Chains A and B, each alone.
Chain A
Amino acid sequence: MTRFLALLRKELAALFLSPIAYGVLTMVALVTALVFFEHLSLYNKILFLFQTTTMGGFESDTIPNHINLRDSVFNPVMDQLSLLLVIPIPLVTMRVFAEERARGTEETLVTTGLSITQIVAAKFAVTFGFAVLMMMVSFVYPVTAIAQGGLGAQHLFAVFLGLTLLAIGIASIGLACSAFTTSQIVAAAAAVALAFLFYDFGWTHAFVSEDFAAFLDAISLRPHFRRFAEGLVFVSDIAFFGVMAVMAFVLCRFALNLRRVAG
Chain B
Amino acid sequence: MRELLWIGLLTLVFGLASIRLQGTVGPFAIVQISLGGVCLAGAAFLGLKRMRRRSRGQASFEPLHDSVLGILAISWGAILVQGFLVSADWRFDWTFEGHATLAPATCEAAAALPAPPSLTLFEEQGDPRTRRTRQLLDEIARCQPGIEVSQKDLDSHPDEADRFEVPSSNSVVLRSGTLWETVSYPTEGTLYEALALMNETDRGKIYFTVGSGEGNPTRSDDLGYSGLAAALETEGYQLGTLVTASIQEVPPDAAAVILLAPERRLRPEAVDALRRYLEEGRGSLVAFLAPCRNSGVETLLAEFGIASPDALVVDPASGPVEGDAPGLNPLAYSYEQHPSTRGLNSNRMTFFRHSRSFKLTKPRVEDKLTSPVYASARSWLYDDACSIGGRTAPEKPADVRSDYHPLVVTGEYERAGGETRIAAFGNVDLASNRYLRSLYNLDLVMNTVHWAVQREPSITLRPKTGGLVQFPVPLQNSMQAFYSVGLLVPEIILLVGGCVWLRRRSA
**Chain A residues close to B by CB (< 8 Å):** 16-17, 19, 21-23, 25-26, 29-30, 33-34, 36-38, 40-41, 43-44, 47-48, 63, 65, 67-71, 116, 137, 140-141, 145, 148-152, 154-155, 157-158, 206, 218, 230-236, 239-240, 243, 246-247, 250-251, 253-254, 257-258, 260-263
Contact = CB atoms under 8 A, between A and B. Distances in A.
A231 B132 CA distance: 13
19 contacts: A16-B500, A19-B501, A22-B494, A36-B482, A40-B478, A48-B472, A141-B489, A145-B473, A157-B94, A231-B93, A231-B94, A233-B92, A234-B89, A234-B90, A235-B91, A236-B86, A253-B67, A254-B67, A261-B64
Interface residues of B, number: 63
A257 B64 contact: yes
B45 interface: no
Nearest to B68: A254
B382 to A, nearest CB: 31
Interface of B: 50-51, 54-55, 58-61, 63-64, 66-68, 70-71, 74-75, 78-79, 81-82, 85-86, 88-97, 99-100, 125, 187, 466-473, 475, 477-479, 481-482, 486-487, 489-490, 493-494, 496-498, 500-501, 504
B470 A152 contact: no
A72 B477 CA distance: 17
Given A38-B479, A141-B486, A239 B85 contact: yes
Given A16-B500, A231-B95, A233-B91, A262 B81 contact: no
A258 B63 CA distance: 8
B91 A232 contact: yes
Give 7 nearest A-B pairs by CB, closest first. Answer: A22-B497, A231-B95, A152-B96, A37-B482, A41-B478, A68-B468, A236-B85
Name B's interface SS. helix
B129 to A, nearest CB: 8
Contacts of B471: 47
A246 B71 CA distance: 10
A144 B451 CA distance: 44
A107 B258 CA distance: 86
Nearest to A46: B472
A25 B96 contact: no
B205 to A, nearest CB: 32
B496 A22 contact: yes
State the main secondary structure of chain A at its contact with B. helix
Nearest to A50: B470
Contacts of B187: 65
B497 A23 contact: yes
A187 to B, nearest CB: 19
B465 to A, nearest CB: 8
Contacts of A44: 472-473, 475, 478
A135 B504 CA distance: 26
A257 B63 contact: yes
Contacts of B51: 261-262
B78 to A, nearest CB: 4
Nearest to A158: B94
Contacts of A141: 486, 489
A262 B54 contact: yes
B94 A154 contact: yes
A40 B496 CA distance: 29
Candidate in A38, A40, A71, A140 with the most chain B CB atoms within 10 angstroms: A40
B91 A29 contact: no
Given A250-B67, A257-B63, A257-B64, A243 B479 contact: no
